[in-house]
């Protein structure tokens, strides 16, 4: 019996968490219409029952689709709009990633989607099929080669792309792309692909830099807190000494020991550590400035592209 494979169930859960869509709006296993017509939503057993095990397009057009199993090998994404992402933006993002040969999309056979809410397009890795019916104005269909079962939710595969798309640092980047495509009411252009690829790289470079700055800041706070605790301890020790006008020799020796072994050493170590951390932050800030400059260039290019397509 055709079943939902675990890896696509994992991808579906990520989509549910980020889109608010219920499971039945993120279909994997084919319904009765799929059971009678075939395709990637059904497995070998169902295809065999309807006499299409060897002739169905989801088996016959690529060697990667045989022999396969009884698992469904497709995913539908229903209509959604969270404000930061929508069905259209994620669809355009997936197609653009396929067109620029993002390795995480290597197991995607085809995507049937609408670029503008009016027409239906199909990106086919094999270049065999095009178009789709009007149901794809309200949902996007993704087919996966059947030999990819088990790995599609990995971080270096389709699941990693979906997770990255919804990342707070990375997400929303396709709004500009969406505007360009919607204005033109056409498929992605070569200029647009180059633009998105550059933007994509910039965002992915910034993300680890931001995380490094955060961790460096946390490290500085830890050092500062430790230094404050040491200074408080020194003050407490000094407060217990006899600081009258005439100090005893024992008091003088105690002050010298505390000052020499605690305050001076703590201060020197703290300053050295802080200097190293500050230097690291400066390097990361410089890196982020470079990324911002790159993004500014991308945004300028986007404006020019948008003007051209209009």
Question: So what's the pLDDT on residue 188?
Answer: 47
The region of weakest confidence among 27-36, 48-57, 219-228, 284-293 is: 284-293
Question: So what's the pLDDT on residue 84?
Answer: 81
Of 279, 82, 298, give the one whose Cα is nearest residue 191.
298
pTM of the model: 0.59
User: Is residue 305 a contact partner of residue 180, using CB atoms and an 8 Å limit?
Assistant: yes
Please tell me the number of Cα atoms within 13 Å of 154 on its side-chain side: 12
| Every domain of the chain and the residues it spans | 6-171, 194-309
Burial of 146-172, coded b for 16+ CB within 10 Å and e otherwise, reads: bbbbeebbeeebbbbbbbbbbeeebbb
> What is the C-alpha to C-alpha distance for residues 79 and 187, in angstroms, rounded to an integer?
19
Q: What is the mean pLDDT of residues 109-125?
A: 94
Residue written as tokens 């890896």? 7
Question: So what's the pLDDT on residue 270?
Answer: 58
Please tell me the number of Cα atoms within 13 Å of 29 on its side-chain side: 14
pLDDT in tens, 126-154: 999 999 999 999 999 999 999 999 999 99
Burial of 205-216, coded b for 16+ CB within 10 Å and e otherwise, reads: ebbebeebbeeb
> Does residue 290 surpass a pLDDT of 80?
no
> Does residue 306 surpass a pLDDT of 80?
no
> What is the C-alpha to C-alpha distance for residues 60 and 65, in angstroms, rounded to an integer?
7
Question: So what's the pLDDT on residue 167?
Answer: 78
Please tell me the number of Cα atoms within 13 Å of 119 on its side-chain side: 12
User: Is residue 144 a contact partner of residue 76, using CB atoms and an 8 Å limit?
Assistant: no
pLDDT in tens, 157-195: 999 999 988 875 544 444 444 444 444 434 444 555 555
Q: What is the mean pLDDT of residues 2-24?
A: 96
Rg of the chain (C-alpha set):
29
> Does residue 54 surpass a pLDDT of 60?
yes
């Amino acid at each position: 019996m055709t079943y939902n494979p675990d890896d696509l169930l994992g991808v579906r859960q990520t989509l549910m968490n980020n889109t608010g869509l219920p499971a039945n709006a993120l279909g994997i296993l084919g319904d009765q219409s799929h059971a009678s017509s075939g395709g990637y939503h059904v497995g070998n057993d169902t295809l065999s029952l309807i006499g299409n095990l060897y002739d169905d397009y989801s088996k016959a057009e690529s060697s990667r689709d045989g022999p396969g199993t009884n698992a469904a090998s497709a995913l539908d994404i229903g209509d959604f709009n969270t404000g930061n992402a929508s069905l259209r933006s994620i669809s355009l993002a997936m197609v653009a990633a396929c067109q620029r040969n993002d390795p995480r999309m290597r197991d995607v056979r085809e995507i049937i989607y609408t670029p503008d809410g009016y027409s239906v397009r199909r990106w086919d890795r094999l270049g065999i099929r095009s178009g789709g019916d009007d149901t794809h104005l309200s949902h996007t269909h993704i087919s996966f080669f059947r030999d990819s079962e088990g790995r599609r939710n990995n971080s270096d595969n389709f699941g990693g792309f979906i997770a990255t798309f919804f990342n707070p640092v990375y997400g929303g980047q396709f709004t500009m792309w969406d505007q360009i495509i919607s204005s033109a009411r056409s498929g992605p252009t070569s200029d647009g692909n180059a633009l998105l690829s550059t933007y994509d790289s910039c965002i992915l470079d910034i993300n680890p830099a931001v995380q490094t700055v955060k961790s460096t800041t946390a490290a500085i706070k830890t050092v500062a807190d430790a230094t404050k605790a040491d200074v408080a301890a020194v003050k407490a020790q000094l407060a217990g000494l006899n600081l009258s006008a005439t100090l005893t020799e024992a008091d003088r020796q105690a002050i010298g020991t505390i000052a020499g072994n605690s305050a001076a050493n703590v201060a020197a170590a703290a300053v050295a550590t802080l200097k190293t951390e500050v230097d690291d932050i400066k390097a990361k800030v410089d890196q982020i400035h470079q990324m911002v400059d790159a993004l500014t260039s991308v945004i300028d290019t986007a404006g020019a592209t948008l003007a051209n397509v209009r």
